[in-house]
């Protein structure tokens, strides 16, 4: 088995669980909304080819800290995404949303090759995003700019968008 590490870091939006496999970052999760033991068990189930242990995830931590400090707008850490073809299409479309900008769920559906009517499916794919912040699902808003659904909670989504200048306080 290949070794992989998970690490809990403090952030302005609460504790984050980072998981780094040998070939890339595979999870960023808000620990305020889920227990550490549950998330690590989920990692072991999703990535059984790795032996998971607590340990440093320096590259990811450095980049996320730089993001929160306002020094980084585009993440360069390699990311591992596993999901359905539609989820992968949505997650890749999320990665194309520039820092400080937002898109709607309908935009995400179109970017993933579906019609506007698939906005709920795009929302579900955003909700299943395993690498929050780095794959910026927080940049997706409802029609008219309304803040809807976010795994870290709407207050965190609002904070992230304000941090990026996409929302006025």
Over its length of 169 residues, how does the chain's per-residue pLDDT go in tens digits?
668 999 999 999 999 999 999 999 999 999 866 688 888 888 888 898 888 888 888 999 999 999 999 999 999 999 999 999 999 999 999 999 999 999 999 999 999 999 878 899 999 999 999 999 999 999 999 988 889 888 889 999 999 999 999 976 5
Tell me, yes or no, if 137 is annotated catalytic: yes
Give me the pLDDT at residue 33, please. 61
- What contacts 12, CB < 8 A, 6 or more positions away? 68, 159, 163
Domains belonging to the chain, first-starting first, are 2-68 (3.30.160.70), 85-154 (1.10.10.10)
Which member of 26, 57, 126, 137 is catalytic?
137
Identify whether the C-beta of residue 121 lies closer than 8 Å to the C-beta of residue 129.
no
CB atoms within 10 A of CB 136: 27
Give me the pLDDT at residue 168, please. 66
Give me the pLDDT at residue 146, please. 87
């Amino acid at each position: 088995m290949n070794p992989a590490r998970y690490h809990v870091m403090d952030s302005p939006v609460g504790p984050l669980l980072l998981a780094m496999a040998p070939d890339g970052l595979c999870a960023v999760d808000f620990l305020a909304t889920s227990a550490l033991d549950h998330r690590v068990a989920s990692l072991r189930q999703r990535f059984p080819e790795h032996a998971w242990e607590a340990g440093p995830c320096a590259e990811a931590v450095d980049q996320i800290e730089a993001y929160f400090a306002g020094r980084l707008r585009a993440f360069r850490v390699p990311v591992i995404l596993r999901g359905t073809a539609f989820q992968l299409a949505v997650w890749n479309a999320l990665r194309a949303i520039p820092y400080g900008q937002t898109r709607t769920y309908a935009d995400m559906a179109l970017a993933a090759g579906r019609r506007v009517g698939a906005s709920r499916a795009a929302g579900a794919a955003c909700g299943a995003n395993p690498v929050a912040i780095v794959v910026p699902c927080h940049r997706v808003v409802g029609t008219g700019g309304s803040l809807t659904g976010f795994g870290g909670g709407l207050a965190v989504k609002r904070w992230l968008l304000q941090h990026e200048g996409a929302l006025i306080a």
